[in-house]
Structure 1
Amino acid sequence: MELPLLSFSIIADAIANFSPDNKLGEGGFGPVYKGVLEEGQQVTVKRLSRNSSQGLDEFKNEGDEKLLIYEYMPNKSLDSFIFDKAQSLFLDWTKCFNIIKGIARGLVYLHQDSRLRIIYRDLKASNILLDQDMNPKISDFGIVRSFGGNESQGNTERVVGTYGYMSPEYAIDGIFSVKSDVFSFGVLVLEIVSGKRNRRFTQQDTGNNLMGHVSSLVKNGPNYLHTQFVYLHT
């Protein structure tokens, strides 16, 4: 009830009437723009495209209107840092650990502290935005599922999300729950620590992806695991 109400004209003025110069990119729902409100606050505006590949039901997970206004995140998404050799130099262990803790707190809120239990279903590096102080914010709630009461698990024939982050039971059987979000979080932590993408990482000798490679390293003890992660990050 305390959210501000903005007219369409105010939003259009903030982004120079949907000028291409203000366009940040294009997602499944449509174009995304950067704007500045009258009081100077920087915002991101997402506009539903009529040609969007995702339907109105998914869009309503993010709001009841066809324009969504977000806080502008100047450091963009996490993947632009951890998978870029130059940008990753700005992420020391303290920053990485704070990012991991921030994402964990966000999941705890969605799973336990919000009015409805929310299963995110698409936790990945590109859906984590970073503010000016490198604090992480979970974004893009287009495919979340919410539960009331004691419900904690669902099943779907339409598996949506990103392979490489999906738990086996979700990818194969369409079963999603708090546990499947935690699985995705685990993959994301491995990517943050190693600086490598799970799906694109291949160990030459075994063909393992990042998860398989880490699993094999665990057998050699924590000291060996730490040494190999330092090697991966260089």
Structure 2
Amino acid sequence: MQVGNDQICEYICSSDCSCNAYSYSTSGECLLWNGDLIDLSRIPNNSRQVVFNIKLSERSNKGKKKPLLVGLAASITSAIFLCGTCCYFLWRTKLKEKGILGKKKFREILLFESATDLSKPGTSSNKGQQKKCAVELKFFKLRELKAVTDNFSPHNKVGEGGFGSVFKGQLLDGQKIAVKRLSTQSQQGISEFKTEALLIAKLQHRNLVRFLGCCVEDEEKMLIYEYMPNKSLDYFIFDESRKSLLDWKKRYEIIIGIARGILYLHQDSRLRIIHRDLKASNILLDEDMNPKISDFGTARIFSGNQNEDKTNRVVRTYAYMSPEYARAGLFSIKSDVFSFGVILLEIISGTKNTVSYTSDSPPNLIRRAWELWNDGKAFELVDSSIVDSCSSEEALRCILVGLLCLQLNAADRPTMSTILYMLRIEATVPSPKQPFITPNSDSIITEITSSSINEVTITAPDVR
């Protein structure tokens, strides 16, 4: 067939459904193949190579494939976008679970029935009591606490200790708060944090600091309390310029308030609590100088018929520590009674009880009180700044009760209910036996080492 050029040959073949291939010669002749291609060796020598019609079909369908490819690309793009969006929201969810939404998981951890380490484990009565006392905690957001404390500004810091720092702030409703922010290097771990959050949330008494909630977000662990504008008891009674602000009447009211708070812990609350860290720095004062017991990180719960327990880790301020606790890790309500006796003498005298480090050191407060009592000069123990306002009868009664609280044998110490009775009512008070006299440091180490294999940590009397 003589037609012309390769475009014409291509057109002719593509127009014929039975044409399977074409070629053309240099002389302008088109060669078309219809049916099966059996022998292509007979192509004239002057012909170009054979062009199969399938290529013609591909060329003719190029325009049709372009929209298909565009649609496919759009689908893939949409799928990638959808997958990326899902991944983003999944990442946000995980982030929230770790932060704000993680409070739900932490709340479950803080449920009282899971806090078996707070009391003696293995007793069914304890577990039943724990479930009855489960409490819902309020969780604050980190951004909210940053806002009310000016991002934990140094000028809002009101206290500091081994646990971290305490910052003051004011919520939108006007309530003033104290934020106890645990540092990452804090000696108070998650167990102590959990203990304090659980216990103080369940306890309601006018002489216990009021717990408002906690914050567990990112790496932060914080406890939020009502703000105590007058700081702690030691801030006043151990400072020469401020101790005169507390006359005898106010000091006596503080003594009674502390005793009431401890009695509530030991007897009147739903839980029987042993505080284990009573000291002047843990007695906070509100705007009216009313005492409120704080810091329950090392507290323990006793079951109804339990009288004492033992710990392998003794961590407390030695000047307030009962001898059985220091020697063998034994603690009971009488351990708190001993600590209360030290605080009582400190309030009366305005003097801090200390550990004697050398044999020629001045006698500590307990030894001095005992010697003055034996010499009939107990009133000399009274702080000189309050002598004029002091009732000698009340002061001597308080000193006597303090010495009874400091008996070497725990069984000889009165309970808090008896102590309150003796302090408030003119009743016959028994004479004290010799109290536990703190030895020098060498004797302390020898006594503890020989009597116990417990891990003992002696901290400074003032930790704030």
Fold-level match, TM-score > 0.5?
yes
- 1:38 aligned residue: 172
After superposition, the Cα gap between the structure-2 partners of 1:206 and 1:232, relative to the gap in structure 1 and judged at 3 Å, is farther
Partner of 1:194: 349
**Secondary structure of 1:218 counterpart:** helix
Amino acid at match of 1:51: Q
**Corresponding residue for 1:229?**
382
Contact kept? 1:196, 1:232, Cα under 8 Å: no
Q: Deviations over 1:86-142 (max 9, x none)?
A: 101111110000000110011001111122211111111111110100000111111
Alpha-carbon contact 1:121-1:144 (below 8 Å) kept: yes
Which residue in 1 is equivalent to 2:260? 105
2:403 aligns to what? none
Residues 232 and 55 from structure 1, CA distance in 2 versus in 1: closer, same or farther, beyond 3 angstroms? same
State the distance in 2 between where 1:228 and 1:136 align: 22
Deviation of the 1:216 alpha carbon: 1.4
Aligned length: 231
8 A Cα contact 1:201 1:210, kept in partner: no
* 1:70 matches 2:249: no
Among 270, 276, 282, the residue aligned to 1:115: 270
**Letter aligned with residue 69 of structure 1:** I
**Cα offsets for 1:18-77 (capped at 9, x unmatched):** 223322232222221110000111100012222212221111111164221111111111
- Are residues 159 and 4 of structure 1, via their aligned partners in 2, closer, same or farther at CA, if it must alter by over 3 Å? closer
Structure 2's unaligned 5+ residue stretches are 1-134, 199-213, 215-220, 388-464
Q: Residue 164 of structure 1 aligns with which residue? A: 319
Structure label with greater radius of gyration? 2
Which fold has the larger relative contact order, with Cα–Cα distance below 8 Å and residues 6 or more apart in sequence? 1
State the Cα distance separating 1:11 from its structure 2 match. Answer: 2.2
Aligned counterparts of 2:153 and 2:360: Cα–Cα separation in 1: 51
State the SS of the aligned residue for 1:181: helix
Partner of 1:177: 332
With over 3 angstroms needed to count, the CA separation of the structure-2 counterparts of 1:227 and 1:209, relative to structure 1, is closer
Q: How many percent of aligned residue pairs carry the same amino acid?
A: 57
Moved more, 45-54 or 159-168: 45-54
TM-score normalised to the size of structure 2?
Answer: 0.47
Letter in 1 for 2:224: I
**Structure 2: distance between partners of 1:13 and 1:115:** 36
Is 1:57 paired with 2:191? Answer: yes
Deviation at 1:149, TM superposition (A): 2.4
Q: Give the secondary-structure state (helix, strand or coil) at the position aligned to 1:164.
A: helix
Counterpart in the other structure of 1:27:
161
Q: Please report the TM-score for the alignment, with normalisation by the length of structure 1.
A: 0.90
CA RMSD, 1 decimal: 2.4
Secondary structure, aligned partner of 1:62: helix
CA spacing shift, 1:81–1:219, aligned 2, 3 Å: same
Tell me the CA shift for residue 198 of structure 1: 1.2
Instruction: Return the letter of the residue paired with 2:327.
Output: I
**Given residue 101 of structure 1, which amino acid in structure 2 is its aligned partner?**
I
Gaps of 5+ in 1: none
Q: Secondary structure at the match of 1:161?
A: strand
Partner of 2:308: 153
